[in-house]
Structure 1
């Protein structure tokens, strides 16, 4: 898969657009449901990158969704503005005022709203017509019926395998360092399929950071396909632009659990309890394993015990439940270079001596790039080779300076 090169502004806008329309494109929706979801998204206000606007219309959302389906993440990069489908009568300031007045009192009629808007100070926009106002209210989900409709609270449960994955990290045991025989703590990063409880991938790492989480996700996608949604913690590291870009390239919607309301990740927390009770509890505390040995034992246990044990809520085993939907599992094209898709990307300025610094390590660049700003792409867990991209093209692969 060729990864499109965007400048920082274009990529930021594309990521923002994908964040809005992800729930519209990760699964095929009936036309009515597609429009309903788009109306819910359009009903909110946003801090739009590089724009003073705070609102996005339903038509624009549907246009972005179509562009994504036809051209992928790259198609969301901004194009020359076309004011097709945009209402110029309702400015962002006026939209904010209408929303505030209507939410304060959902019973306000259109006639009352028009009168209050006309009397509001500081409004130098043209007067709204009743039809424009009613259309705006309906589009934003601000009609009396929409505002007063009871909110359904459904049990969190995916219907199909790979529809939803959960991701999390568990503090693990202390392991033996191979280099010097000392000890270090291991951290278990894992993904769990919500519908089947199958574990696409789990692995102990020496780090609890994002680099390890992304490596775990990469192995999970390689082994079990692409998830529609990924529920993860609300921690700062999971709001990384690296994760956002990778998810957009995969076509996966990242969903962060709300603070103190982790209901979306309950199943993986129960899996971690099972790991403690059935796996970690059976390790010999007097014999410290290496990280590699610990992972070997973990996967033997997952594949031979956990995946093949009857689960009371499933009426079968996690493996059998996952395989039931195998024909609907979305896989990446065979030509996809998954390792490169997960590369981190950072901007660097090449010094006059044709070197640049990355993670406290000097790399050598070709002389013609001295003084230039370049983008470097690399595997954060193995940066022995770093790709240097200049003006949207791969220039050379750099190695650390001897």
Structure 2
């Protein structure tokens, strides 16, 4: 590659002047503007060494035999700069400096590879870059003047113009900026310009950038003593720490010096000791983990969260904060399982695993923290039976499980704020204290606690919140085109799950016997003639008759109140006790009907005997059908009566025919089965029933109940 004309290694001053003018006029990127080399008599008139009129200039030119040519487009004759007297040439150069400004390119012109001694132009500050550009502009002006005069004369003309203030505004501004000084005298000097020219020829424009002194990063001798007062968990201010430091160290530096030195430290080094290892991570760099290569059920992330609102404990009737353990699928962000317990315990983890595995299939990796609810032998044994792998995150590294931490804020914290018993960090302290006192007062008096929700309401709202989360767009998932609005939006977790299924992915189903054997939350109870009491319900199991008065462990599922699982104290499963499993009608229906008929005949016989006694004659009783007798009313009165009767009967009929959803989960499932059979038979359902019939299969309760029935059917078939 040949060197460009503007390269500093190209000896500009060794080229003949006629060639310099030629390439400078054709170089689009050069900072030097092309300059006139020919002047007319009108332009020369009045200059030193020239007559005062243009006519006399032409006469002088003819007398001296100056070379001339006609200017293109005019009749004027112009004369070469080289043949003019020396004093006229100097005057022309001075006028050029004061009247003609060099052309400024739109982008900086790189002269050489932008690197010197490990420093790049991109590493320069704005102030350094501005000074460098100003010095380059002055060098280009010297180069432009040197086309018509020696370099020394060009420098002298530029220095004299700067001293007398006759430079153009552009050059004046560049001269002040190029000095890089804050003093009043910011003019140019011949020595400085020659030094800049020498540096520019040797190393290019980067050599013209001023060197800034780097801050002194050495640790002063008093720093350890001050940090001992400053880097404490109490997080004292600089002024407070300095007061303690000054009292113990007379002759210490000023507080301003301390402030300047602290400003040189990185946030992590400055806050060490004031923040613990976990908080310090918020100041450090981190890695974003991408789940693009994961499939559903590849990695499950689980964690426990203490609910930020108070709830009525269904077991004790007291006020407590439940512990919610959730499992999220990393690939699809779907909440695949959850459990509610008194604390983040092993039973809560097992219940969450049972819920997730029975709902969506088997996982590959179970990613959890080092809490006691996850890091124990029982969880490891169950995981080994299921065939998965457990991975623990590092201590004080909750950011690694940010996918579940974010779900806690999006779902659980948002849900807690909908309750009046919310006691989170955002709650007003005065309102929280007032609600706390009122709820405890009502609890002590035994009245209904209004501000604290019941467990049934809390659990139903939790299920709804989890279902909404799984069906709403998630920012961590890819974008798709919405079929209804036509706009692009993020996928929902359920859409991401269905998309994976459409691509051919299939969930791995765990062994039903293993899933059924996973331990549920348990409480201790005493049996009584085959019955156990739990959560205001009576559950019956025939096998418990022989264990009358003994202690058993009752496993329960908040999602299904129709049954409990009774275990021996040693952990062996005794069986499933059903709610009101031994309840039967007080009397058979046929027996009640016969008793009613006998009572009716006896009453009629007594009426006949009484009539005989009163009349002294035989009395025959005849039953008259209940037919309505026509009223002796006019047609207008009959019409009004019918209208009033219809208006009164309509609300009653609507109330009787209104669709109602049972409060029990098993009753809701049976109602859906009946509606499904009616719909399959072609029967038209009313609007409310049809809407509920379509939405109920999308709830976690439906899937759990259906899985339970399928498992029961499979167990019966295998038996």
TM-score when scaled to structure 2?
0.27
Q: Under a length normalisation based on structure 1, what TM-score does the superposition of the two structures give?
A: 0.47
Higher relative contact order (CA 8 A, sep 6+): 1
Q: Which has the larger radius of gyration?
A: 2
Q: More strand by proportion, 1 or 2? A: 1
Structure showing the higher helix proportion among its residues: 2
